[in-house]
């Protein structure tokens, strides 16, 4: 499948929508204006790729709403070269945004089917994460810690301690916390045991699940 002028035009309209909804980070807007989101969705749903909505992907999961991706990415304040851990690779779209921002990306997915599909797909379109693993995001990736930032793209019933402890000092964890509805929450690590917490309103995600299948 290709990226056509039509897709590019639709993408610019999506960027305008994000700006109107309050997204300001130039790097994030540029990344989302560049990444062919339609390639991350099954071919039947191409017309839905550039509307600001979440959409079903494989294994009963969803590709996050573009506004949510932009909002979380903006909160991370990624600098080129930052080591970033992503929980919930899913379609790989958020992974691609992080890579466009210059991050070194490590990503964890617990659905075997999505893990296989996305770890093959991303390099095919030129997006190379440092590592994508099939595993449990509640545990993080201790061998690669510390991370400059950690982003969780599934709704977490609570904040997993391993994720807090794998943050670098000065690092940022962006995580939607809650059961049916999640509060977007940012933790900034100020010291070994000192975390600052900020909350940013309600979002809805598929749940972060504990047991692998």
Q: Does position 166 bind ligand SAH by CB under 6 A?
A: no
The token pair at 109 is: 């997915």
Residues 42 to 61 in contact with ligand SAH, rule: CB under 6 A: 61
In terms of CB distance, is 31 or 87 closer to ligand SAH? 87
Q: Does position 108 bind ligand SAH by CB under 6 A?
A: yes
For residues 163 and 145, give the distance between their C-alpha atoms in angstroms, rounded to a whole number: 9
DSSP state letter for 181: S
Q: Does position 186 bind ligand SAH by CB under 6 A?
A: no
Of these, 7, 110, 172, 189, which contacts ligand SAH (CB under 6 A)? 110
Of these, 154, 167, 174, 175, which contacts ligand SAH (CB under 6 A)? 154
Tallying the residues shown for the chain, one arrives at 213
For residues 129 and 191, give the distance between their C-alpha atoms in angstroms, rounded to a whole number: 28
End-to-end CA separation in angstroms for the chain:
31
- Yes or no: say if 99 and 128 are a contact pair by the CB < 8 Å rule: yes
Q: Does position 209 bind ligand SAH by CB under 6 A?
A: yes
Residue with structure tokens 């440092």? 130
Q: How many residues bind ligand SAH (CB under 6 A)?
A: 23
Q: Smallest distance, Å, CB 193 to ligand SAH?
A: 25
Instruction: List residues with catalytic annotation.
Output: 64
């Amino acid at each position: 499948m290709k990226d056509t002028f039509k897709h590019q035009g639709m993408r610019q309209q999506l960027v305008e929508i994000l700006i109107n909804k309050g997204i300001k980070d130039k790097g994030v807007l540029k990344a989302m204006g560049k990444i062919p989101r339609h390639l991350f969705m099954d071919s039947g749903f191409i017309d839905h790729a550039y509307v600001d909505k979440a959409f079903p992907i494989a294994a009963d999961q969803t590709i996050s709403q573009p506004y949510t991706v932009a909002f979380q990415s903006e909160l991370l304040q990624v600098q080129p070269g930052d080591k970033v851990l992503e929980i919930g690779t899913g379609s790989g779209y958020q992974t691609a945004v992080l890579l466009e921002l210059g991050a070194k990306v490590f990503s964890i997915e617990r659905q075997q089917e999505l893990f296989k599909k996305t770890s093959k797909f991303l390099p095919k379109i030129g997006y190379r994460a440092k590592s994508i693993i099939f595993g449990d995001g509640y545990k993080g990736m201790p061998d690669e810690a510390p991370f400059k930032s950690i982003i969780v793209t599934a709704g977490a019933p609570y904040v997993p301690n391993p994720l807090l402890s794998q943050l670098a000092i000065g690092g940022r964890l962006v995580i939607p916390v809650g059961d049916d509805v999640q509060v977007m929450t940012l933790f900034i690590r100020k010291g070994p045991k000192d975390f600052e917490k900020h909350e940013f309103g309600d979002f809805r995600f598929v749940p972060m699940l504990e047991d692998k299948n």
